[in-house]
Structure formats: C-alpha cells, structure tokens
Amino acid sequence: MTLSLSPGEVEQIRLAALRCVACDLAGDADGFVAQAQRNIWALPDGLVDCLRAFRRYGSPTGGMFIRGLPTFEVPATPADPNLAVGTKVTAAGLLGIIAAVIGDQYGFKPELNGRIIQDIVPVAGFEQTQQSISSDTDLYTHVELAFTDDRADYIALFCLRADHERVAGTTLSPIEAMLPLLSDNAIEVLREPRFKTTVDRSFLRGMGHDDPIYASPIRVFTGSADRPRIRADFAETSGTDRGAQAALDELRRAAEKMAIMICLGPGDLLLVDNNHAFHGRTPFRARWDGADRWLLRTSITRDLSRSAAHRPGDGRVIDVNYRDEVLTG
C-alpha cells in the first residue's frame, strides 16, 4: 500500500515515535514496546486495518509492502551495526509502533547483543559473506533463523537510505507460488526429518565460535498441505541423504524462479511472512562514505510465550548457548 500522509499526520506520528525512542532500547526493551503499543492510535486507520488483515490472512506475495512512511532525521549510515545508531533515530519508534500491531518484538543475545531493532548496513571485510552485512554478493533466499524453533513469525525491514545505484533488490518467494512447481515426491520428502541446518554465521560470530553448529534432523515443510510452513536457508541447510538434497534443490529452483524483487527506497517498509516465504537480496556496491544502504530490522512473534524457556527473566531477549544446546527440529 502507498500512504499519502498530511503534514498533521506526519507530525502526529513523529511525536508518537519520539515517545517510544525516549526509552532506552538496549536497557528497557519492554518500556519501548509498551510505548509502541500505547501509540498505535497515531497510525492511520487504513494502515492499521491492512496490518491486522496481513496478520490474520497472510498474503499471496509472502509479505506486505508499505510505501510513503516518514523517515524523519537520517544521520550518516553507520559503518558497523554494533554502534546501534538506529536505536536512537525517530524512525525506530515508528517501526516499533507498526510492529506492535501484528505482534511482539524480541531479540537474540548472540546477534548484536539482543537489540530488538538492528541496523542492516554493509560492513567492510564482509562483502562476500552470506550475512546481512554483505554487499557484493547475492544473499541467498532463506527463512530468517531457520536453525531455531524460536525464529520470528515476521521480519520487518524499514529502509532509511537506498544504495547509491538503487540496484539492491529484496526478494520474496511465497510458498503459494512455489508449491505448484514441486513434484509430489519432493513435497513428500520435504516433510520428512531428513535435513540439517547450521546456526547462522552472525550468531557464531557473536558467540566467538568458528565451527558449524547443526540443528538436525529438521523438516523443511510442516503444517497444512495447501500452505505449508517452510524452514530452510539455502546458505545453511542441506539434505542428510541424496534424495533429500535433490528435493531441497528442487525447492531452491522454484524459489528462484518465483521470486518477486522489491527495490526498497527511503520510507519503504517490507514485512516478510517468515513462515510462508523465503527472502533474499541482490548485490550492490558499498562505498562506506556515510551514504550507503541502511535498513532497520526487527523480529516479530505472534506469541512471545512460545520462547519463554529461553528468555531469562521473561524479558525480550532469547539467550541460548547454541554450543551446548541440543538442536533438533
């Protein structure tokens, strides 16, 4: 949907967002989310209605795209997401308010110390990696955090600044489009526990760990026959036997063939249905000049209680030592 906001509506949203970022996102995530929930009223009714419909019914595209949101002040793009610059900008408050309509924000301790709003920026030295901080290579299609049952129901990507050439495309591959391309045999195999996937490299880096940690065995498809939930990361997931790998390769071809590409610009927000769509990103050239591509990202769950065992003190940060945790699916 494309918004056309009046100056009065923009100012109303700005004041509401400022109330949210007045809370310390790192030290008081619950306070930030509480403020966001209180300030949903500041959003246009039509936007709230569309967000609630997306939560209830999903989307045949695998996501919801919103254009025309205000970004307010946008400082220089940070060179490192660890600086947490995005937690202080007014746009973070707006992202929190929108997230509050469809669920609860939360974070993971090994990734950027559990911050519930994160900066997605290119980092020098990681250009060719399969991480969100890469730039020169395709970021393979994936479900966010496929290795854990605590993964998000929705991923929100809010663009503050596009890449210099405006060529970076975020891809969406919805299950509704992929399923008709798959053979009956592949669908059957993808429902069987014949796959393994590794803990994301960003998590390993956050834990100071180099060797792969596997979640195994897992099923790539679960749930209903006509709209299964998907669980795979084509950079991290593999079959445990030849037949399983063949089925996974078939799914990857379908995902690539049916991918929808969206080039995010300032004020664009993409909500990804992390249960029913893969997403990825095409390459772009980073310059590290303060004007590189910059997104704010947050993870949203429909039911925070599902991860209670892994959130110390019933906070909003999952804290698991994946080196010691037995990962199965």
pLDDT digits (tens, 9 = 90+) for 207-227: 776 778 888 899 999 999 999
Q: In this structure, are residues 101 and 48 in contact, taking their beta carbons and an 8 Å threshold?
A: yes
Q: What CATH number belongs to 7-304?
A: 3.60.130.10
145: left (phi over 0), alpha (psi -120 to 50) or beta: left
Helix and strand counts by DSSP (H, E) for the chain: 8, 16
Structure confidence at residue 209 (pLDDT): 67
Is pLDDT larger for residue 268 or for residue 130? 268
3-class secondary structure, 35? helix
Q: Where are the domains of the chain?
A: 7-304
Kindly state the average pLDDT of the residues 115-133.
91
Neighbours of 296 (CB within 10 A): 24
Residue 62 has pLDDT above 80, yes or no: yes
CA dist., res. 137 & res. 129, Å (int) = 7
Structure confidence at residue 50 (pLDDT): 97
Distances (CA, A) of 313 to 99, 255, 309, 323: 22, 39, 10, 21
Q: In this structure, are residues 76 and 290 in contact, taking their beta carbons and an 8 Å threshold?
A: yes
Tokens 């920026």 correspond to 121
Fill in the amino acid letter for 161.
R
34: nearest Cα among 115, 90, 94, 97 = 97
Structure confidence at residue 325 (pLDDT): 59
> Among 40-49, 123-132, 282-291, which stretch is predicted with the lowest mean pLDDT?
123-132
Structure confidence at residue 324 (pLDDT): 64
Kindly state the average pLDDT of the residues 234-240.
95
Longest dimension (CA), the chain: 60
94: nearest Cα among 46, 153, 156 = 156
Question: Which helix (H) or strand (E) covers residue 250, if one does?
Answer: helix 242-257
Summarised one tens digit per residue, pLDDT across range 282-327 is 999 999 999 999 999 999 999 999 999 999 999 999 998 777 654 5
Tokens 């209605």 correspond to 49
pTM of the model: 0.95
> Among 78-92, 194-208, 315-329, which stretch is predicted with the lowest mean pLDDT?
315-329
CA dist., res. 126 & res. 62, Å (int) = 28
Question: Which helix (H) or strand (E) covers residue 16, if one does?
Answer: helix 7-21
Kindly state the average pLDDT of the residues 246-258.
98
Structure confidence at residue 27 (pLDDT): 87
3-class secondary structure, 216? strand
Structure confidence at residue 206 (pLDDT): 66
CA dist., res. 130 & res. 133, Å (int) = 8
Instruction: Indicate the average pLDDT of the chain.
Output: 94
Kindly state the average pLDDT of the residues 26-36.
94
Is pLDDT larger for residue 320 or for residue 189? 189
